[in-house]
Structure 1
Amino acid sequence: MPSLDLHADPVDLTAALVDIFSVSEEEKVIADTVQAALQAQAPHLEVIRNGDAVLARTNLGRPSRVLLAGHLDTVPVNENMPVRREGTGDDEILHGLGTVDMKSGDAVFLHLAAALREPKHDVTFVFYDCEEIEATKNGLGRIERELPEWLRADLAILGEPSNGGIEGGCQGTMRIEIRVEGARAHTARGWMGVNAIHGLAEPLRRLAEYTPRVVDIDGLTYREGLQATKIGGGVAGNVVPDEAVLTINHRFAPDRSGEQAEAHLRELFEGYDVKVVDLSPGALPGLSAPAAAELVAAAGGKAVAKLGWTDVARFAALGIPAVNFGPGDPTLAHTRQENVRAGEIRQVASVLRAFLSV
């Protein structure tokens, strides 16, 4: 089993984590390694295991609790293991799978878990599995069902890549299908049929003319989106299609619930068969909560909206303010070119250390 030095520079700890294979549903080795390191090097923490998730916490009786959560899994390897390091000092660049999403964030949290013996908030650390695949397998969902008391906190910080800045809340996401029926006919006698693909012209027109909202919430700007992502239809090259399906993805600001977003799309596409096939509500930023405001101040007083969906929404559903705060450019996540700057890893660690220290 690999070993980790939790007291090392979080940059070196990032490199060590990247070199541990942990594609989704294959996290046992990294979970074993993290658990062993915490038990040996952070005796002040209560440490437990849940599946391939590792949980640790202080029990100091502080009046508030902060939860730091990071997933251990990665997307499949894409010729980007082991880690490759270029440069020196804060300008050093670490290349490799998970450098951005999100082993640099995990490294920061593990370093703090060992270093902070007397934090001013009680702290819970959650290193979980299966974030990169279907939501039903997400380790946070399992923990919520089996160990709900471990997710109680006054603020949750997700170590997802955020370019080293605070991202408040997140957008909701919804996927719908619009299904149009027609009648088959031979294309040589097309007038005898009804072309279902042609029937999508009107919903596509409405979509093309749609103006997404730009919403300000707590000083953060959320830009909504509505995009066609797939069209399916047709049975043969000489047959008028009798069915066509248009798939649309809607990213909506967190001032709307999932039900309100659905009602909005049903109104927009009135007269058509609309089916919701996927829905994940967003999360309000909650930056006015005392612990969240304190974190924003420690990070320089600035925060931006999260344009995308992350597990902060799971905490928001539990009534817990949550933010994304981690090293790395999120646009590089899931790409072969994943890389993170050493200085950004150290900067995130420094901000969180100041925020959590007495």
Structure 2
Amino acid sequence: MPRLDLSASSVSLTRAICDIPSVSDDETTLADAIFEAVSALPHLEVFRDGDTIVARTDLGRPQRVAIAGHIDTVPINANVPTRDIEIDGEPYLWGRGTVDMKAGVAVQLKLAAELAEPRVDLTWMWYDHEEVEADRNGLGRLSRDRPDLFAADFAILGEPSNGQVEGGCNGTMRAVVRTHGIRAHSARAWVGENAIHRAAPILMRLSEYRPREVTVDGLAYREGLNAVAIRGGIAGNVIPDLCEIEVNYRFAPSRSAEAAAAHLRDVFAGFEVEITDAAEGARPGLDAPLAQEFLAAVGAEPRPKYGWTDVARFSSLGVPAVNYGPGDPQLAHHDEERVPLAQIDAVERGLRAWLTAR
């Protein structure tokens, strides 16, 4: 089993954990290495739920902060092992997981090992299955199995944010919009009714749709509604009787999933709409006192998070949460995934300064 040296630098730890493949469904080797490393730390109480590891202090501090990061990645595409590269004179670590989000996990492991007397009690969470269906998410499973471990006054998710603070997140919803027709031989098309042709107004509504920009607690969230798949057709000589257009709706955290579903039904009035997946967004949570202290300590300008992240799980439990981690989110899942070494160091310094200030 690979072993992790938590006395190494955050950059070295990033390299080490990126070189342990952990594509979703294959996280056990990395989870074993994390569990062994943190179990050796006397100041932490350690729990394991599948391939999710939780380690926490119990110092009797009046406040507790949860800091979480997922350990799985999307599939590797000839981008492991990692390698050091330079772009315009700036050093980077290149490879799968460097951005999403093993650099953030490495910073967390480094600080978990070294901060035996933080200013607040800490709950560290490293979890599996974030990159797949929501019902398999390790953090979601843990919230069902051990909701007591989520007790906190503030939470930080180490998702890539270019070393800035991204508050909350948009909600996300998928739906299928259907049209129906009547099958017929294409040589006698007038006998049938073409379901694909009937879908043209759906595509027109999508092309004419103008998404909102919504300000929530001082941050401007951009919404989006897009077709992401279309299915229809039986054979080359058959008029199709069914067409399905799958749409993805990203909605501001001021809107509930119920309201988002109602909006989709309004947009596609007159058509069959089936909601197939939904995840609530999360408000920024930046008005919490700990959040204000955190922003001041790391010197970051808060921004909105357009994508959905697990901050929403904390928010649903009444814990304000933000995203804060190294790496450009636009390079997440990219074959040229790479993180500036300076950002890894900067995020470590920011978290360390805040967690040790008195």
Q: TM-score when scaled to structure 1?
A: 0.97
Moved over 4 A (4+): none
* 1:30-67 deviations in Å (ceiling 9; x for gaps): 11111111122x21111121111111001111111111
Is the contact between residue 104 and residue 159 of structure 2 (CA under 8 Å) also seen in structure 1? yes
Q: For the residues of structure 2 that align with 1:2 and 1:246, how far apart are their CA atoms?
A: 46
Q: For the residues of structure 1 that align with 2:246 and 2:2, how far apart are their CA atoms?
A: 44
Q: Show the 5 A alignment for 1:1-358.
A: 1-40=1-40, 42-87=41-86, 91-357=90-356, 358=358
Q: For the residues of structure 1 that align with 2:331 and 2:72, how far apart are their CA atoms?
A: 16
Is the contact between residue 65 and residue 153 of structure 2 (CA under 8 Å) also seen in structure 1? yes
Q: Displacement, 1:105?
A: 0.3
Q: For the residues of structure 2 that align with 1:239 and 1:345, how far apart are their CA atoms?
A: 57
Q: Displacement, 1:267?
A: 1.2
Q: Which SS does the other structure have where 1:92 is aligned?
A: strand
Q: For the residues of structure 2 that align with 1:120 and 1:163, how far apart are their CA atoms?
A: 25
Q: Which SS does the other structure have where 1:80 is aligned?
A: coil
Q: Which SS does the other structure have where 1:205 is aligned?
A: helix
Amino acid at match of 1:201: A
Q: For the residues of structure 2 that align with 1:61 and 1:204, how far apart are their CA atoms?
A: 58
Amino acid at match of 1:3: R
Q: Structure 1, unaligned stretches of length 5 or more?
A: none
Corresponding residue pairs, total: 356
Q: For the residues of structure 1 that align with 2:122 and 2:258, how far apart are their CA atoms?
A: 34
Q: Displacement, 1:86?
A: 2.7
Q: For the residues of structure 2 that align with 1:86 and 1:174, how far apart are their CA atoms?
A: 38
Q: For the residues of structure 1 that align with 2:182 and 2:128, how far apart are their CA atoms?
A: 47
Is the contact between residue 100 and residue 333 of structure 2 (CA under 8 Å) also seen in structure 1? yes
Percentage identity across paired residues of the two chains: 56
Q: Displacement, 1:17?
A: 0.8
Q: Displacement, 1:87?
A: 4.8
Q: TM-score when scaled to structure 2?
A: 0.97
Q: Which SS does the other structure have where 2:107 is aligned?
A: helix
Is the contact between residue 67 and residue 124 of structure 2 (CA under 8 Å) also seen in structure 1? yes
Q: Displacement, 1:118?
A: 1.1
* 1:162-212 deviations in Å (ceiling 9; x for gaps): 111100000111111111111112222212211111111112222211111
Amino acid at match of 2:117: E
